Amino acid sequence: MTKSHSRRRAHGRAAAVLAGFALMAHPARAREPSRVIIVQERRERRENQKKDDAFLAEAYLRVASELRSIGFEVRERPPRKDDGPRAEVEADDDAIATILVRRTAAPGQSSTADIWIADHLTRKTVLRKIDPHDDPATLAMLVLELMRASLIEPFAAPSKIEPPPPEPVTRLVETFRPPPPPGEGRGGGADRNITLDAGASLLWGDLGLAVAPTLALSYRLTGPLKVGALAMAPAFGAVVRADQGVARVRQELALVELGYYPSFPRWIHPRAAIGLGVYHLAAEGDARAPYRDGNDGTWAFLTSASAGGAIPLSRTARIVLDARILVGFPRPVVRFASQEVSSALRPSVAFTSALEVDL
């Protein structure tokens, strides 16, 4: 859902809230004073202060406009107290309510806000913690809903009922989070369970340098832990030379890995893994006289350890760069006429670059 669709939905909900306020507007005019005070929050200077200022200014403007449209007098003022938001909103006796909205998220974290509303008729103060999804229209709608829930009680009560005792009472309301738009998980692509990697690897060792296409599939077990399968095959390019001739080498390997993928709000996301698997080595020889051509192959068990990182491209795609150390048991060997001329996996190193997408 686009941001414009979210705002239209918020406007529709705000209209429903104002229908409830309309029932209160006439009695509100009969009481003096019938005004609402909005406290403009003072915050310490920080990197995203301009963004917060614009966000809160638009939300306050929407709240004030809707309240004025149904007959309330709205005034704005700066903070006057230094002993907390509760004391700030409870300081006004010449209004039916005082509103204060504070952005509480630290830079780089998800957006959260506290809504403080003091009802000066009942001497009650309400706090609600919300996640407005960085939409001023959503925040304004939530403020109006909370005011309606707080103020409807004294307006609907019979006049013979005595007001509650003057001691202030604070009601802590549970955290309220509007449903996210379709397609957005808790953390975007980072919370998808299955990922697919496709790319290429450079395999380097005693046999020389080889290039192989690489494919990997992983599944999130819990938190930062993932299990996955990886294949590099076939790896061409390695050549072994000796006095007896030349051998062209082909290599294939497959691994099952357990990975650790910590979540950091940075431009690169680190990762590490360990794995077990199998390795296949095939050699095709061109012999010099008096030797004859031949070909052969062998298998070995494989262990691996890797480290690397991912650079996000979008919520569901990223570039992955990894380096793996590969060790085989038993160690594969290339022989010419019973003479050992080279070997593999003692250890070998694979450098991988791939595009990773969430499924």
Which of the residue ranges 42-46, 110-114, 296-300 has the most confident prediction, judged by mean pLDDT? 296-300
Taking only the tens place, the pLDDT of each residue in 100-121 is 887 776 555 555 777 888 777 7
Q: Would the pLDDT of 306 be above 60?
A: yes
Residues in the chain: 359
Q: Would the pLDDT of 178 be above 70?
A: no
Q: What is the mean pLDDT of residues 317-333?
A: 94
Give start and end residues of each alpha helix (H) in 37-194: 49-69, 85-89, 136-156
First to last CA, the chain: 20
CATH 3.40.50 location in the chain: 3-176
Query: What's the topology of domain 188-358?
Result: Porin (2.40.160)
Q: Would the pLDDT of 49 be above 90?
A: no
- Sequence-distant (≥ 6) Cβ neighbours of residue 228 within 8 angstroms: 216, 217, 218, 219, 256, 257, 259, 273
The radius of gyration computed from the CA coordinates of the chain, to the nearest angstrom, equals 34
- Which of 62-66, 150-154, 220-224, 288-292 is the least confident region? 150-154
Q: Would the pLDDT of 6 be above 70?
A: no
- Sequence-distant (≥ 6) Cβ neighbours of residue 25 within 8 angstroms: 70, 71, 72
Q: What is the mean pLDDT of residues 139-163?
A: 62
Other Cβ atoms closer than 10 A to 316: 17
CATH 2.40.160.20 location in the chain: 188-358
Other Cβ atoms closer than 10 A to 179: 8
Q: Would the pLDDT of 38 be above 80?
A: yes
Q: Would the pLDDT of 138 be above 90?
A: no
pTM above 0.75, yes or no: no
> Looking at residue 250, what is its pLDDT?
95
Cα–Cα distance, 351 to 49 (Å, whole number): 42
**CATH class held by domain 3-176:** alpha beta
Q: Would the pLDDT of 188 be above 50?
A: no
- Sequence-distant (≥ 6) Cβ neighbours of residue 159 within 8 angstroms: none
Distances in whole angstroms, Cα of residue 11 to Cα of each of 58, 108, 125: 14, 28, 26
Cα–Cα distance, 345 to 145 (Å, whole number): 66
> Looking at residue 190, what is its pLDDT?
42
Other Cβ atoms closer than 10 A to 4: 8
